[in-house]
Amino acid sequence: MMVDYDRKGLIVGSQRILLFSASIHYPRCQPSDWQQLIEFAKEAGINCIETYVFWNQHERERGVYDFSGRLDLFGFLQTISQAGLYALLRIGPYICAETNFGGFPHWLRDIEGIQFRTQNEPFQRESSRWVRYLVEQLNLHRCFFTQGGPIIMVQLENEYKLIGQNYGEAGRNYLKWCSELAKDLHLPVPLFMCKGSIENVLETINDFYGHHEIDNHHREYPNQPAIWTECWTGWYDVWGSGHHIRPCKDLYYAVLRFFAQGGKGINYYMFYGGTNYDQLAMYLQTTSYDYDAPIDEYGRRREKYFGLQYIHRQLQRYFSELALSLEAPSFAYAYEQQMSLPEEQQQQQYYVWIYIWEMAHSNCIFLCNDHPTSTKQVHWRDQVYSLAPLSVQMIVNNDHWILRSDRLQDNYSVIAPPPCRSLSNIQWKWEYCPVDIPTSSNRISSSLTISSEEQQSVPEMLRHTGIATDYAWYIAYYQIDSRFLEDSSNSSLEWIGGQLDVEVADYVQVYVNGIYKTSSPLPLLEERFPNDWNQHDDHHNIVGRNSSRRVGFHQHMEFTHSQEIIQDSTFCIAFLVSSLGMIKGDWQLEPGWNMKDERKGLLGIPKVAWKIRGRDGTCPLQLVSRIVLEPLWMQWPLSCSWLSTLDIIPREGPCWVRAMISFKEESCASFHHWLLDLKGFYKGRIWWNGQDLGRYWLIPCQNCLQCSFPVKEEIQKETTQRFYFIPKSMITCVNELILFEERAITTLEDMDLLEIPCDHTKPIELNPLDA
C-alpha cells in the first residue's frame, strides 16, 4: 500500500483523497484529551491530523530521550490510527511552531563551532543523529502507512525560503544535504516541505490565503497538487497584546476560494492550539496557545468549528469527485473581463472570478469576490447573485445554490456553552517563602579593586542556567563618581531618583540595596530588530507600527522616589533578569546573526546614574566590582522555610507561595477542567501538583503591537492573560498549587478557581442540505 501524488491530488493506497487536515500538537494537550480532540476533528469532516515533532522536548539533555506523558508521540499516532485518520508528521529538525528555540534543544547552541540551518558539520551531525533516531523509532512502532500506521507524508526542515538567502551557497548546500539525508532515511512515504522545497519533495503552501500561491505553485511544480499545509485559523498572542482572532467569514472565504481555484488539500493551523506547558513557549509567547482555533484551549468547539464542518460536508458531497478527477477547473475567468466596458473603464485588476468544475453529469460553480470592501453583482444563467466583499458562493448543477461563505450562519445556529462558574467553598491554606534579595558583599568579593578585564566581563545567563530556570540575579557594586563627592563635601546629597541604560534579554527588575526601584519598559516587542517583514506596511504583511522602537536589546529605565540622604557612596545593585523563552528563528535577532547567537541575561555593563536634588543632569555611577551571576533555581524539592503567616506579603520582591486545596472524595469525580484566576498576582510561574503549567504575567494589554491582515486584536480585557488552564487529568481530591511570584502580590483575596462546563455544544441545522 503506497502513498503517492500527482496534479489531481494525493493517492493513499488505492484511492485518491481530498485532504482535510487538522493541526493538533501532542505536547500542548494532555494524553487523556487526545481521543476527544481527534474525534471532534473527525466529526468536523477532518481525515488527517498534523503535528510537529518537538526535539526540544524529547531530548532536553543530549542523548537522553523522553517520550512519556504529553511527549508520547507514538501513543498520539496510535490514537490517530484508532480513529481511522491519516497523519502528517513534520519532524524538523527545525519546526518554528512558536516553540522554544524553534524546536531545537537549548544545549545545541553551546556546541563548539556550530551554525544553525546552514552547511555546518556540528549542526548537520547533531541534526542527523536526532532525525535518524526518530525515524528508527517510528519504524519500530510501525507508524508509517505502508506498515499499517497513519503517517502518509513527512516534512523535513521548515520554511527554509524565509532565511535561505542569508546563507547563500552554504544554504543551498545545506538543502542538498537535507535531500541526501532524506534519501538515506528510506522513508516509505512522500516528503513535503513548505516555502523552500528540497529536491524531489512536494512543495506546499503556508499563508492566510492559499489561492494567492496556486498559480505560482503550478508554474514551478506543474506535476504537483496544490496542498495548503498552513491555513492559519487565527494567530498567536504575545505578552502585552490583546487576543488575536480571525473572523469566521474571512476563514470560510479563504477555504472555499482555495478549493475553487484548484486546491487539493488543506491543513488548518491550528485546529486545536492548546497550552504552552513547561518550557514550550518561544520568546514572549503567552502560556495560552489558543490561536482562535476552531476548538478553543479548553477543548470546546467554537462557531468556527461548525462553519468548517458545514463547508467540509458540502465539499465532500458535491465537489470531491470533481476535484479528484480533474487537474484544474474546467473553466476559470474574470467576470469583469467578459463585460463590454469602454476601454477607459476597464480595470487593471479583476476582483470577481468564476470557476467551473464540470464532468458529464455534474458541475460545481464557485462565484468569488476578492474585493475587500465592495459588494459585486454577478449575472449568471439568468439569475443575479450579490457577492459580499471577500466571499464565495457555491452552486451545484447550474442552479442548486449550496452555500454562501458570508452567510453560513443561515444554515446552522450554535448554542453557546454556559459560562464558567466559581468553585464554591474553597478553603485556601496559604504558606509563604520570601526570596533573599542581594544587598551585601556575601555574593561578591569584599575587595573593590578589580582589573579592567574583569570589569568588562558579564556572564551569559544560558551557559549557567540552560532552561532549568527562567531567572538569574546579576549583582554588582556601583559607586558615585569621586569628583562629584568632592564637589559636594560641604553639603548632604539628596538622592531623588535615577536612570539606567541596559542591554538585556528579556525582562529585568532593578533593586538598589535590596529595595525595588524599576523594571523593563513595556510593552516588549516580539521582533526587537528591523527585518524584511516588520518594515512592510500593506494589507498582506505585518505592520511595522513600532519600527521606531526596534532598538534591539537596549532598555532605558527611569525612576523617582522620595528624597533620601546618601549615607554611603557605594550601592549594591541587583538585577533580577527573567527569560521569556528562546527565539523561534534568527530573524528575531540582530541582522546577520545566527540562532546560535541567542542569549539571555545582561549583555553588557549597565550604565547607571542618580538624580540629585538641586543638581542639573545626573550623577554617573562607576562599576567597582565584578558582575556576579547567581541563578535563581526552580528545582524540586524547594529548599524553602515555609511561613504560615502572610503578614509579610505586601513587600515588593520575589517570593514563593503555596496553597493546599482539598475536596471531599465524592465531589472529585464530577470535576471537569478548571481555570486558575490569578488576579492579585503579577508575573512568575505556576506548578499544579508538581506539574509546570508555564509562565504567568498579568501584563496590561497595549495597543496593537503587531497585526497581520486579516487578524484582528481584541483589547476588551485588562490583561493579556489572567486565566490559566488546569486540565481535568491533573486534578485530584488534594491539590498543591505553588507559584513563584517575581514582583509583588497585591492580594490573595481575588484568586479563584473556575470550573469549565463540559462541551455539549451542538449546531442546530436550519437548512440541512445534505439531509
- Contact present, 586 and 533 (Cβ < 8 Å): no
Q: Would you put residue 13 in left (φ > 0), alpha (ψ -120 to 50) or beta?
A: left
Q: Is 364 helix (H, G, I), strand (E, B) or coil?
A: strand
Among 213, 230, 713, 741, the active-site one is 230
Q: Which uninterrupted H or E stretch holds 31?
A: helix 31-43
- 218, 217, 202, 212: which is closest to 232 by C-alpha? 212
Q: What's the rounded Cα separation, in Å, for the pair 91 and 735?
A: 36
Residue 728 CA to residue 159 CA, distance in Å, equals: 36
Q: Are 99 and 54 in contact (CB under 8 A)?
A: yes
Distance (Å, whole) CA 333 – CA 355: 7
Of 469, 450, 753, residue with least CA distance to 624: 450
- Distance of CA 42 to CAs 89, 199, 271, Å? 18, 33, 11
Cell numbers for 337, please give them.
473581463
Residue 157 is given by DSSP the state S
List Cα–Cα distances, 405 to 368, 410, 589, in angstroms: 10, 10, 40
**230 labelled catalytic:** yes
- Cell digits of residue 108: 545545541
Q: Compute the distance between CA of residue 235 and CA of residue 710 in angstroms, rounded to an integer.
A: 10
Per DSSP, helices labelled H in 290-436 are 303-314, 320-325, 335-338
Cβ contacts of 227 within 8 Å, gap of 6 or more: 10, 19, 192, 202, 204, 205, 263, 264, 265, 266, 267
Q: Which of 629, 688, 364, 366 is nearest to 473 (CA)?
A: 629
Nearest by Cα to 462 from 594, 281, 583, 588: 583
User: Which residues, including other chains, have CB under 8 Å from residue 125's CB and lie 6 or more apart?
Assistant: none
Q: How far apart are CA 18 and CA 11, in angstroms?
A: 9
DSSP 607-653: EEEEEETT-SS-EEEEE-SPPEEEEE---SS-----BS--TTTTSSS
Whether residue 508 contacts residue 519, with contact meaning beta carbons closer than 8 Å, is answered with yes
Residue 370, exposed/middle/buried by CB under 10 A (0-12, 13-18, 19+)? buried
- Asked whether 474 and 577 are in contact (CB, 8 A), the reply is yes
Label the pairing between strands 752-755 and 421-422. antiparallel
According to DSSP, residue 449 is labeled -
CA-based torsion, 32, 694, 238, 701: positive or negative: positive
Rounded CA-CA distance 95/92 in Å is 5
Give catalytic status of residue 159 as yes or no. Answer: yes
Catalytic residues: 159, 230
